[in-house]
Structure 1
Amino acid sequence: MTWQYNGNFDQLEYMVRLKGGYGGNAQCVKYLLGSHDQCGKRPGHSHDLGHWVGRFGGRMEWRARATARLWWGVMCAGQGLPMMFMGTETHQDGHWHVDEDAKFDWGLLNMIAEKGVDNGALYAKQGMAHVKAANEVRVKHKALTMGDYKRTHRDDNNGILACERYYQNDETGEKERLIVVVNAGDGQWDEQGMYGVAIGGQWENCAGFEEVYNSQSAEFGGWENSGNKQRGVIQQDNDQLMICIPKLSVQIFKMLWGAPPAAVDPDVEHAKLAAAAAQSISALQ
């Protein structure tokens, strides 16, 4: 069993697509957010890293929590088996130890989570909601647990990587295609100016894409309409997918199988609108 630990964007693709001839996804256990060796407190505090959010300012820092969501999303969307040390899901900071003051903080779960009140409980519940959702997406989509990988887009300047995760069972006919988009940078794109993610060409039998996961959803600690859920089905634009991308995020899009929508002839549409307008005017006379 091989263990991987790295949180650097330069190694992002390596972590999503495991190299070195692994015969199966379960052969590699990934712990980007830290194992017991990284999170635990040792005598003399040698080589200690602590819980993930503690390394980036603590659970009260939005960026620390967003970064933790991002890397758990990366692990769930990539090949290999993701592992999380207890306390990471509640955004616990500091170091873990058997000492009473350093154990898993059950108090975060027992406190009343109030929106707008920085008592740590709200962030714990958001963190657990995110981990639950990411795990459910991973279990639901075989392309993430059993499928292959193909990089389709890399933008080092903005810190954006996109890949296709695909699965096909020739015996049962089951198949699935997903696009995973990781934004490890601070750039943001919304509906006023969307980002074009290369998807490796025009996909056949594609009726569009729908967003099935966004690490910056409001219920996880992000914000409303940060992604593309509100847009419904998104059509491919030649070899690109024009999408909204929030900063420090992971998004997963599922391809919908079927015939693509018929192309709209602008002349025909103009004639229809003109006829409808003329009919309305006639009805008023």
Structure 2
Amino acid sequence: MPTAEFGGIWGYNSRQLMASHGPWGSAADMRAMVERAHSLGMAVLFDVVLNHGSAKMNVLWNWDGFGPDNCGGIFFEGEKDTPWGKRFAFHKPEVQDYLKQACRVWIEEYGVDGLRFDSVHNMPWWLLQQMTFELKSHYPNKILIAEITPENPQVINDAGFHSCWLHATHFDGIKIMKGCDGGGDPGKRIGMLKNMVAPHGFGNIGGVHSAMGSHDQIGDRDHGKQDGHGTHRHFVSRWGGKGNWHARTQCRAWFGFQNCCKGLPMTFMGTENLQEDWWHVDKHHRMNWGLVEGADPQTMEMRAFVTASNKLRISCEALTRDDVKFVHEDGQNAILAFMRWTQDVAALCIVHFGEGQWENDGYGVSTTWGGGRTWKLALNSQAKEFGGWDGSSTPEAKADDSGKIMVNIPKWSMLVYLSS
């Protein structure tokens, strides 16, 4: 989330685009944080808000005494308002240069590995093209991610970004879980899942998605009542809370599923710990480290699965390649199987979002990968060590002449089989 000096509480009302937010520490502290993350093998991306600026206590706004009609002065005059504040004066070369340099400062002075651009649909398309061209020419190894509503692959193909922030994955997941707005129709449900696996028009890193929600869906600024319906919640709280077995197993299934999809999976802090309720910057709703420090057993099961799923994604190149083939669709039972592969290994991913259950190798999954192959289980979200049970899955299956394998399918599960 934004780190530039801002007004408000979440960082999305920028005041000084080249200054780090003072209450969080000094510029040296921020540099040290990035360096420490790098030493641990982690990349760091910063969120930049270039589409509007804060009118309150903003020296840019007050620079020349506003001008008439509260126009914001030389940095804002001539532009229209957005729901969050006035747009910058994009038509001015000086302001264009300011916005470009605001991007470069985070890369050059702090060493970040990429930038996420907030709400680029509130910026001129030609300016986005200029910015991405210049940034990519100076920093070819940095990733640039755009949030645009509605989601549009042209932000990659034409505006020059590497990836697009996808909200649809989360909202389609909610529809599937609630069985509403098409999510309860077998055909439409499978269609939604397929578009999560391979978002239309987006390449392998083209979509950044969070099936279980981001700050927009989990954060709440009104004591848990932001939208009047109490739906801004951590994923586990939407389905019954951490103490509910179904809610926990559904979280594991969705986490494993998004790790097998094309694109860059994202997890909002606390999700990996089965944190409940909503997120906010107040002291009661920040990251709850007590779940980990107290070795909460349900949290430890979820963390064990998150670790196993992440390790599989990192170690299995097939899960990060561009190729996807849908090999089995069962809309009635909410089961979808798809293949990801390299020249050396194939990954068969089977997701089941339903209450049905098949034991004693009682469910047939088509692989279309040729008969006689042996498929070995690499991940089962319903394994006992993750909160499931022994015997919930089939450790190894040999395909018949048609390429079909017979396996156990536990309720609410994500299974990954590998074959070389």
Q: CA deviation at 1:16?
A: 0.8
Give yes or no for contact 2:212–2:255 (8 Å, CA) kept in 1: yes
Residue 224 in structure 1 maps to residue 383 in structure 2: no
Structure 1 unaligned residues grouped into runs of 5+: 113-120, 169-174, 257-285
Higher relative contact order (CA 8 A, sep 6+): 1
2:389 alignment partner AA: W
Q: CA deviation at 1:80?
A: 0.7
Residue 255 in structure 1 maps to residue 419 in structure 2: yes
Q: CA deviation at 1:76?
A: 0.6
Q: What SS class does the counterpart of residue 194 from structure 1 fall into?
A: strand
Pick one of 202, 205, 208 that aligns with 1:26.
205
Over residues 15-73 of structure 1, what are the superposed CA-to-partner deviations in whole Å (9 max), with x where a residue is unaligned? Answer: 012212x2x32221111101011111123733452100011111100111111111111
Over residues 159-218 of structure 1, what are the superposed CA-to-partner deviations in whole Å (9 max), with x where a residue is unaligned? Answer: 1101111123xxxxxx22111111111111111x51001112524xx5411000011111
CA distance in 1, matches of 2:195, 2:281: 34
Give yes or no for contact 1:86–1:104 (8 Å, CA) kept in 2: yes
CA distance in 1, matches of 2:299, 2:193: 26
Pick one of 375, 399, 409 that aligns with 1:236.
399
CA distance in 1, matches of 2:312, 2:237: 27
1:139 alignment partner AA: I
Report 1:93-112 matches (<5 A).
93-112=276-295
How many residue pairs match? The answer is 234
Give the aligned partner of residue 153 of structure 2. Answer: none
> Could you say what the CA RMSD is over the residues aligned between the two structures, in angstroms?
1.6
Alignment TM-score, normalising by the size of structure 2: 0.54
Give yes or no for contact 1:50–1:94 (8 Å, CA) kept in 2: yes
Give the aligned partner of residue 377 of structure 2. Answer: 211
Report 1:40-189 matches (<5 A).
40-43=219-222, 45-47=225-227, 48-112=231-295, 121-168=296-343, 175-189=344-358
CA distance in 2, matches of 1:103, 1:49: 14
2:301 alignment partner AA: Q
Q: What SS class does the counterpart of residue 212 from structure 1 fall into?
A: strand
Give yes or no for contact 1:201–1:238 (8 Å, CA) kept in 2: no
Q: CA deviation at 1:234?
A: 1.7
Alignment TM-score, normalising by the size of structure 1: 0.78
Q: What SS class does the counterpart of residue 253 from structure 1 fall into?
A: strand
Residue 36 in structure 1 maps to residue 215 in structure 2: yes
CA distance in 2, matches of 1:202, 1:238: 7
CA distance in 1, matches of 2:350, 2:370: 17
Give yes or no for contact 1:208–1:236 (8 Å, CA) kept in 2: yes
